[in-house]
Structure formats: structure tokens, C-alpha cells
Structure 1
């Protein structure tokens, strides 16, 4: 062996992972659909069914039973081995045919098997305490250990039947045949973790829970379960709440033999982009079922108006029919929208409910299901009043509420539980509704199948240079990490910064590769048609780099996104989780999340660093090879509660330029230092001086012309006065 080759070898061990060819990663999120969309695949321990208690007779009996169940090679031929289908589904015996009962006799898993499967996929389901149990705890305990024991005693952990395959939805849980065909046509075979834990509870809780169902039943023997689900981004939450909604409407129509459209379910989302995406997914599931899915629009009538208002409108039309405006005629004559499932943003629906009634919001008595997608935002300060107003309008006693998000704080959970209990008290329900909390993986953490990078750029020009290096990689990465390839998203703190960054990068992509048409910007100041046009182009692959604000950070599904760039540090840890969750969706590997930070961002970086460290730990990366070392986490300053609150509401203070004056009426600091530009301060100063000189000369010319005009007027009137 050549001694020079031996000495030039790196001392660092090669990282395990996909081979890199041609300077790029072999696996990318845009490469195709993964074989398994599940995020967690922990191995089930070999001691399945055993209890770790030494010296007990039960353990000896279980050991003897396992020895007796060993393979007998001399057994008679009549013993048949398990089929592959039975081995996969762990005991499903039959599949119902068309025309048979939807609930056939099946062999379900026992509690220990359910517990092992749920733990291997990191699923935790908890039955939250009811209002009566909370009232018992009036005096606070002095010791924290006693409080924790009491809390564990109140919140009971559940182990329902997990959903192993989508085919079990038809055989075990009796969903509609047409709905099962639509799922098969969409290619759904293996459920994700959130679907594995939530669908059995929402479809048939009596089958999923078994004996634990007695605690959830009311006086009529039925269960009204409210679900609070916390699952990582891209884990299939939209499909998890759409399947039970569509199936319940189909089954109710089949029982009542009524094909009319009655508003049965309301799905609330924080942004228009997310609402339109939910509408598209729901329409795919409703093909051939006769269910009508409608996306809320401005001016749409959902509830009929009061009789007095209608009479007043008819009399005014008869008296002043000729003088009435055409726009008001169209508004008054707009028919009542008929829908089974309504997908809306909170502001649109609340304004429609308020416009149909003079005193308060009009009620929604037919709504049986209320879904809050991204519930932590809908119940935050920005949308809280609107969301609670919609919740209050749903007066049906059989209402079932489902809250879904990737991040859920304890304050949001407490608000949701108190709202459910107060609504039951206001309506005078006999039994208090119970809430089941589902947590997938580690709560409030980023997905483990993407690569995180935290890059220090020092200044704003340094961030722009770093972003240009991502657009034009000059060399292969030396540390073995994956490079960033388009398409990718770039997030900024404010709309003016997004516009400025777009104008700065407009000509960075060469004309041979598409030029400026490959870069676009999307924010809330654009019209609805412009936003839809940009989204369509980005999904079709015509746009490679999309610069945006947090309007696209939640819920929007871009399955082919290869990376996310946080040009500005996110306002909170939850914002970081949702931003980077736009890549690596549905178990796709190869996604990259890059966060650029400057000197002004150092006090706020620790939240992001902690999330990255937890994500790398969940991915199984050793502490010695992790990017977030312990010394770095200890060196970063910890922000106070007030600093976190200000950061969440206003963002980094140095980047509030372009938004006007601050809260106290003073100009924001660092307005000139945080401009997105590659020009030096001296060049910008010369440009400002030149611009100021031009404006001053214009003002002087205007003043001179005004003086000449006034002098001419005085000379004309002077002769008359004389």
C-alpha cells in the first residue's frame, strides 16, 4: 500500500447513509413516494407479553407456555401455518363482502399486543380527566411529587386497537365500500402513526377500546369522544380527520335514506392555502359518495337570514326596485350555499354568521363535527375570539371536536378542555364529554428524517452571501452532509423583507435555466388570484425558489420540497418546527433545513438549537457526531419569558424596519443596518445623497415656479389697484 495514501486518510469515520454521486445526494424528497411513510420503527422487544417481576409464579407460567409453543417439526400435516395476511394484521380472520354486515366477527389483539405495537411506533394515548375529577382537587399540594402522582392517577393511559393496514378499515371498522375504493385508488396502503392511533378511535371507539369504553359511554350507551392530536408535520393528519368525517356522513345518509345536503362538518384552517388544500383532498375521498365539499368564500350564505330581515328586504325591493344598485341586488339574491362539509378560515365563517343575524352569531344546529386544523394558532391571540365564536355557534349536543397540530402548548390544551366542559354545562348535557389526547413521538419536536444546519452569517450581507452560495454551490460538502437542491422555500420575518430579497435574487438564476421565472415571492398582501397562481406554478415545478413569510409555514403539503431556508430566525420554537416540516413529508428522506443567524439573533437561537438537538437524538445520531454539541447549547444565552413573548409577537427588533414606528412611537432600531442588499454602506450613502439632491432640485424648481406665478399675479392686480 502507498504510504502517502495511508497518511492522507481522514481520521473521521465515514457516516452511514446513502451514497453520494455526482456531487449530490442519492435520495431526495422529490425523488418519489417512499415505501413506508412511517417515521418511527422501533423494534418490539423479544420478551413480548412478559412482566419484569422476578420470583413470581406468573412469569414461570408464561415461560412454560412459551416453551410449549415452540416449533414442533414432527407435528401432523393437519396443522396449517399462518397466512401472510393474518401475520400482518395479527388475527384478522375475514373480510366482509358486498351486501354483508360491515362488522364481521374478527379476532382483535389483546391489550399487551396493542401496548407493544403502540410503543414501537411511539404512540401515547391518554384519557384526560373530566370536570368532576378536576373539582375534587381544590387544594394544591405542597409537594410536587404528590401532584405528579395525582395527575397520573387522573389521566388514564389507553391502549386501543392500532390500525395496521388501510384494508382493515373495511374489514374491522366497517367504512363505506366507496370510501375504501377511493383510498385504494389514491395508493394508501400503510398508515402513518397518527392514522394508526386516531382512526380506530374516531371510526369505532367501542371496537378500538373494548372494556375501556365503559368510562366513555353516556346514559344512552353511546360515546362522544373529543380528540386532541399532536403529531409531527407531514404525518398525514389531514387524511386522519377526513376519513371519519366522510364515513360518518355516508353512514348517516344510508340509515336515514336522505340524499339532501345538510351541513354536517366544519373544518377550520388558519390560511386560505391550507383550506384550499383540505378541499382538494376531501373531494378525492368523496368521489362517488354524493357528499358535497365547499370551500368558504366572501359573501357566501351558509345560514338563512332572519324572517324580519327578509321581509324588510322584500318590502324595500318593491318600493325602490328601480333605484337599487346592481351589486346589492346580487348580494341579496345570492342563494343559500348547500354543503355537507364546509372548509373555511375563521374570519370568513364568523362574518357570515354575524351577517345573517342582527343580535349574535347565527347557530349551526346541524353541525356534528368541528375540526380545528393547526389548533394552536386558531386558539392563539390572533384567531382566538373568532374560533371560539364559531365553536359557540355549534349547538348540537352530539358535537364532536377534534384538534390537530404539530405543536400544542399546555395553555392551548387547557383552553380546549375548559371550552369543551363549559359548553356541556351551558347546553345542560347529562354526561360530561371526555377528551382523548394522542401524542406521536416527542411532543413539540421536529421530524427526525431531515438534516438540520445552523449557520452563523454574522451580518445581513453575510446572510445574503450564504444564500447565494446555496443557489450556486461551488464545491462538494466536505463534512459529508447533503447539499441543498431546488425546489426549496425561503422564509423571512416580514413582507417588506420578502419583497426585498426577491428583488435582490431575481437575476441570480441564469437565463438558460429559466432566469427570473424560477424565483417568486408569496405573501398575504397579494391578491387571492395571484397567490393561487404562484402556488400552482410552484407545485408544477415551474418555480424553484419560493420566498415567503410564515403564511406557508403551516399545513401546506409540498411533497417534493428538497429543503427549507430560514433566512430570518423564526419567532418561536413552534414556528421553526412548522417551517422545517415543509420538507421530509410522509417519511421522505434527504430533506435539508438551513437556518441563518446573525449577531442580533444570538439571544434567540437557543430554542432552535434545542429542537435540533432533540431531533438528532430521535434520529439515533450519536452525541459525538451531532451538530448541536453540549458545549454549544451551554454557551448560548437563555431568553427570558418577556423576550420570548416579544419575539413571538414582533419578531427580532433589528428587523422591524419597514413596518413603521414601534409600539412607543419611536423609530425602530437598526433600520439601515438590516437592509437586504449586497451594496456597501458607502455606495448606499452616495445613492441616497444623489437621490436627495435630485429631490431637492425638484423642490427648488417648484418653489421658483410658484414664486414666478405669484409675482405675475401681483403685477396684473397692481394696475387695477392704482
Structure 2
């Protein structure tokens, strides 16, 4: 036994155990789901005296009025301030949620107590919320006009401020205020209380007042710019919030409450009319939204339907009355009957992927219009407006012909091109319908735009080659295995992302027997991708949520929107195709403010030209978390050493991924060179000699079957055995 190895191993174990966090995302819920609680000063805008470090107000008064004595020196032996003042220094939302013990369904006859603009400004800034009223005209045309005119700097700044105006709406203090202040349905408020919702997240704090009652949230002066419909002032919303911050609940509460208010008015005889459409890019995300919507609308009579293949969407009122006797209580149609067309699906809220919904709308001879839809929700809007889904999304958008249509877009990453496209589409639709009034568009940004959540730990690991990545991943499978720098290990359950489906299948085959039989063996590892059937995908998702699967290998199909609150970490086995893909991948851990999540990214020689985007996102996330530069994992010298990819390289990476792992080989003209480079990209621990033997064996079997088939065909063509010669 080598004594040096024993001593070094003991040292590493001590270091790993010392830095191992006491909490993991799978440990349970947190005290507050909020991400930011910044300290703010009330003396905003006060001039500082030259040569002094205090404002004019602080020169004759204590900081924020804590000492309570004007012009007096700070007395360290003075009695402590009362508890009420100490409470006022705590985060605003957490204080309101803990002190308010009234039932959610209780209403108040007195007018709601609203905060002053200065207090709203302070609360929004402490939670890093920025709300902007976008211009009436197309932002693209405005920028082009300013650039063409070549105005001076002061004129440009003045025009920009006039077009994009920052506003400070009323923040939501607690979920109980939804009933008392914003008059939502009592049954919805009870459902929220039963599910344990007390403290709203940042995106819920800023978006719910705007979507429920914008006139009350903005005040009379700011609400003058809003267009008024039969239901009152309305807005379109572009919301950019971190992953796991509660965006699903933020757009479901207004949608469900609006459907309830419409049913109370008795708009239809049977009470069911398509009121809202929610579009999501994947089936898994759409199914998750359906489950959350059904929990929220329990006992309200609202019918929530998840779109499935073969369903027909009700367009006009005649379509609604066509068939209702074959609908079950959940809004699902009966199976297909021979010689009969599928009945019409009747729902208040329809949730679907863009392809399924558009095929149902355009399946008839004439395109079906949806004049009853009042709200269109685009979840993960940057993907839905990407060229991959853009035509399908616009097809659904144009089918909603109601003039007073409200559109809300939600995502954790939304570039300026997506914002401009959405704003221009809203404006062009208004001009096409000939509407004089317009619903203003409000942009809500939580934290730093297009950044990863700050409550997880990032690791960027250089593995050199493909076998190095496989070896590093195998080390993470052991609970006592730490990283090379002595950081905490990655505990199951966790997700492993690969670039392509074949690589996910190959990695699953390699790791199938890495977990001991005592711990569950191969049943603890699974793979999920789009080539699997819907039933298989649902089974894998259910087993992973129940804790039966510890390591789930998948592609980017699970990178967006899917909520796994107990996932302890994420492993990027292959470098993501873009910075947005990295943000959404690592956002599967650290949900709802849970600390202790770990994100590990492996990269090789082929990935070095594309790592700069990931490294910049990690650096920004660590800066948001308040980590000092000396402790940051992304040092300045490392960021400067990484090459900057060109626009064309970024474009090709986003479309196809790293070229060496997608089958396309740019270097090497000979077949031998291509074969050797392709073999280096394989996920396998077998040697080239073993793979060659297996290849030869399979080739021999296929050749034998081919020769046997050719002999049978030759015998059949020659007529052997085809004529009866009689008995001898």
C-alpha cells in the first residue's frame, strides 16, 4: 500500500466534506422563493456635499432616520429602537406575508391602501424589478429614424427617454392581497392558500397587479395612456425573469380569473367558450402547465384542456354547438369512431404546442378563426418566435381575430430582436384591423437580463477529450467523489444534457451498469428524447419526479420550462449551443430560490472556440450573487484568454451544435482521417480493436443473410420446386 496515496485521499475527503453544503434543492422548500433582497436608501436623488460622504438629509439626520434625533451624534448606549422600526428594514414582501393572517377569501369594504410612488420605487429596486412602458410606434422604426437623422447625443438621449418610460406600479405584497386589493375569485384565492403560496416571487410581484387591474396598479395618471376595452384598461406584457421564478403561476392566475369573470356574465348558454390559449414549445412543458392550471381552477367550473393529436378546436359559436354529448368532464374527446369525424373540443383554457394547434386549425377546407379568444400566452416566447416555430406561432396569433386581444410573452432569455419582433407584430395587427385604440406594451425585467440564477454553483471543467468527459462523469456518480478543486460533489438526482439523440442513447448504454445493484442498478438511470413515444416519455417523467430515477440523460427537450424542484444539479456533458441554452439548462436546478444547486459543464479541445459565452454568463451570475473577484471561478485572465467566436460561428453553433459531434467533418479529406476523427467523438470505453471485431461480426451476419436471400430469389426465378412432379 502506498502511504502517499492514502494520505492524499484522506485530505481530499476532508476538504470535500468541509465545503459540502448543508442544504440541497432536494432537501425541501425554502423560507422565501425570492432571489433578491437588496438594501436601498430613501435619500434617492439627494445631492451630496462636495468633500462629504453623506447626503444633505443624512447630514442633519441619522441614516434612514434610525437614531431618531436630529443633529445629534450617534449614541451607542441608547435604547434599542422599537420592533416596528426594525421590521420596516426587512424585505417588504416577506414582512407583509408574515404579519397578514387574514383569510385569502376575505374582502374589504374600504378602498385598497396604495403605496406612494417613492415607496413603490424603493420596493421594486430592492427586488431588482424594472418596468418599462414601451413606445407606441415600432421601436425598430424609431431607432432607424434617429440613426438616419444623425442627431447629437443630447437629442438622442431625450428621444430615447421620451419613447421608453420607466414606471413604478404597485408591487404585490402577499397572495392574500389578490383577494382583498385586486378582487380575484374567492375560489382561486382558496386554491392558492391550500397549495401553500404565501410570498410572491419577483415576477409575480410585478406582473400580477398589472395583468389583473392595470389602472389600480399604475394609478390614474399613468393609466391614461392605456386603452380601455369592455373589460377595462388592458396591456400587453413582455416578461423576462430567471428560470424557476414562478412565471407559470404569474400568467395562469389572470387567465383563470378572467375566465371566471366571463362565465359570471353568462356569455354563453353552456358557460364554456374558448377564452385563452397558452402555447408552449414542448409536450412536457404543455403537460406541466395543464396540471398547474387544473390545480388553480379546482372547483371553479373552468375547463382546462391539453391539446392532443386529433382534437378539433371550436371556432365560431356554431362549432361550439356542434357536439357536446361525447365530451367527458375534463374536456377530452371520445376516441375516434369509424366513419365519423372527431367531435369539437370545448374548453375555457386551451394549452398546446404550436404544431398541434395549428394543424387542428388548418385541417378543414377553410381556416378556423377564434373570435372568442381574449388572451394569448406565449411561454418561452424566444423559442416560439425563433425561425423554427415562428410561422406556426404567427398562424395561431393571426387566427385570434378578436380586436381586443391581449398578448403576454414570458421567458428567461429574450433578446432585443424578439422584443422588436413582438412589438412590431402587435402594431401591425392593430393597423391591419383598423383599430384606433391600442393596448400599450409593458416590459418587465427581473434582475440582470439574460443571465443565470445567482443561487447555484457553476463549474467549468476541462476534460480534453471525449474519454475524459466520460471519466469525469463517472466520478460524479459516486457520492464521495469531489471535484479537482475540492468543491462539493454532485448528488443525485441530476440531469445530463447531450447535444444529439444518438449521443444521449450511447451515454445511457455506457452508464447503464455504473450504479450498484444494491442501490437499484440500471433502473436508476434513464434516457429521454423526442424519438420515444408519448407514453414512454410520460413514464420516464413520472418515475423521475417520484425519485425512482436518479440520473436522467436527455437533450434540450427538457431544457426549457420543465419544473423539477428536487434536482440537485445539472451536467452539461456537451457544451450548449448558445448562451440562452446554457441559462435554461442550468435553470432546472435551484428552482423557487432553493440553494445548493450545482451546474457542471465539460468542454474539450473542440469546444474551446465556443466556451466564451458560457464563461461570461457564469461570471455575471457570480457577480450577481455577491461573490468577491478573488473567490470567483471565472478570473479575468481566463476570460481574456478564451477566443471570441464570430457571428457566423455563433449562428452555426446555434443551428447545428459543435460540428465534430454532429457528423459533419470540416477537416480531413481522406476517408481514413474522417473515420479516425469520428471514432474519437464516440461515447465509448471500448478500444478500436474491439469495435472493429464487432463491426466485422455484424458485417458477416448481414452478408450471410443477404446471400441466403439472393439464393432463395434465384431458386424462385429458375422455377425449382414450383412444379408438382407427382408421387414416385
**In which range does the TM-score fall when normalised by the shorter chain?**
0.7 to 0.9
Q: Does 1:279 align with 2:279?
A: no
Q: CA offsets per residue over residues 316-337 of structure 1, 9 Å max, x none?
A: xxxxxxxxxx997557343221
Report matched runs for 1:179-258 at 5 Å.
Answer: 179-210=188-219, 211-218=221-228, 222-256=232-266
Count residues in correspondence.
675
Partner secondary structure for residue 592 of structure 1: strand
Which of these residues, 443, 446, 450, is aligned with residue 440 of structure 1? 446
How far residue 429 of structure 1 moved from its aligned partner, in angstroms, is 1.1
Change (3 A) 1:179 1:103: farther
TM-score, structure 2 normalization: 0.84
2:399 aligned partner: 393
Change (3 A) 1:508 1:371: same
- 1:442-457 equivalences in 2 (<5 Å): 442-457=448-463
Deviations 1:271-329 (A, max 9, x none): 11000100100111111111111100111111258999x99xxxxxxxxxxxxxx9975
Q: Is residue 2:673 matched to residue 1:678?
A: no
Note the alpha carbon deviations across 1:666-711, whole angstroms, 9 max, x for none.
9988432211101122332333344445555665677778889989
Q: 2:19, 2:488 within 8 Å by CA — same for their partners in 1?
A: no
Matched residues in 2 for 1:133 and 1:350: separation?
29
Check the 8 A contact 2:129/2:447 in 1, yes or no.
Answer: yes
Alpha-carbon offset, residue 60 of structure 1? 6.2
TM-superposed CA distance for 1:411, in Å, is 1.1
Equivalent residues in 2 for 1:48-447, closer than 5 Å: 48=43, 51-52=46-47, 70=68, 104-131=110-137, 138=145, 140-142=148-150, 145=153, 147-210=156-219, 211-218=221-228, 222-256=232-266, 260-303=271-314, 329-330=337-338, 332-356=340-364, 358-359=365-366, 361-447=367-453
What is the CA-CA distance between 1:713 and the residue it aligns to?
6.2
SS at match of 1:672: helix
Does the Cα contact within 8 Å between 2:275 and 2:375 map onto a contact in 1? yes
Q: Is the 8 A contact 1:96 1:102 kept in 2?
A: no
Q: 1:685 to 1:133 in 2, by over 3 A?
A: closer
Contact 2:244–2:590 (CA under 8 A) maintained in structure 1? yes
**What's 1:486 paired with?**
492
Q: C-alpha separation between the residues in 2 aligned to 1:468 and 1:199?
A: 45
On the 8 A contact 2:106/2:180 being kept in 1, the answer is no
Over 3 Å counting, the alpha-carbon distance change for 1:622 and 1:134 in structure 2 is closer
CA deviation map 1:356-409 (0-9, x unaligned): 3x23x3111110000000000001011100000000011111211000000001
In structure 2, the CA distance between the partners of 1:123 and 1:545, relative to structure 1 (3 Å rule), is same
Within-5 A mapping of 1:699-714:
none
Residue 172 of structure 1: how far off its partner (Å): 1.4
Native 8 Å contact 2:48 2:56 kept in 1: yes
Name the CA distance, whole Å, in 2 between partners of 1:615 and 1:67.
34
The 8 Å contact of residues 653 and 668 in structure 1, kept in 2 or not, is answered as no
**Paired residue for 2:522, among 513, 516, 521?**
516
Counterpart CA distance in 1 for 2:58 and 2:608 is 60
Question: CA, structure 1 residues 641+443, in 2 after alignment: closer, same or farther (shift >3 Å)?
Answer: same
Once the two structures are superposed, what CA deviation does each residue of 1:613-640 show, in whole Å capped at 9, x if it has no partner? 1111111111111111111111111111
Contact 1:602–1:636 under 8 Å retained in 2: yes
Alpha-carbon contact 2:563-2:588 (below 8 Å) kept: yes
CA deviation profile, 1:11-47 (whole Å, cap 9, x unmatched): xxxxxxxx975995311000000011111111122x4
Structure 1 pair 337–63 and aligned structure 2 pair: CA distance change class (3 A) = farther
1:319 maps to which residue?
none
Q: What are the superposed Cα offsets for residues 165-189 of structure 1, whole Å, 9 maximum, x if unpaired?
A: 1111112111111111111111111
| Alignment map for 1:635-674 (pairs within 5 Å) | 635-657=641-663, 670-674=677-681
Structure 1: runs of 5 or more not aligned: 1-7, 9-18, 73-78, 312-325, 717-722
Is the 8 Å Cα contact of residues 103 and 172 (structure 1) preserved in structure 2? no
Q: Are the equivalent residues in 1 in contact too, given 2:16–2:489 (CA < 8 A)?
A: no
Q: Does 1:29 align with 2:38?
A: no
**Contact residue 490 and residue 564 of structure 1 kept, 8 A:** yes
Question: Is the partner of 2:211 in helix, strand or coil?
Answer: helix
Deviation, 1:153, is 2.6
Listed as ranges, the gaps of 5+ residues in structure 2 are 1-6, 8-14, 71-81, 323-333, 724-728
The TM-score, its normalising length taken from structure 1, stands at: 0.84
Distance 1:221 1:181, change over 3 A: closer
Determine helix, strand or coil for the equivalent of 2:407: strand
Change (3 A) 1:116 1:384: same
Say which of 23, 35, 40 aligns to 2:36.
Answer: 40
Higher mean C-alpha displacement, 207-216 vs 264-273: 207-216
Q: For residues 166 and 200 of structure 1, what CA distance do their matches in structure 2 show?
A: 11
Residues 1:517 and 1:144: Cα distance change in structure 2 (over 3 Å): farther
Q: Distance in 2 between matches of 1:84 and 1:106?
A: 22
Query: Would you say the 8 A contact 2:315–2:371 is kept in 1?
Result: no
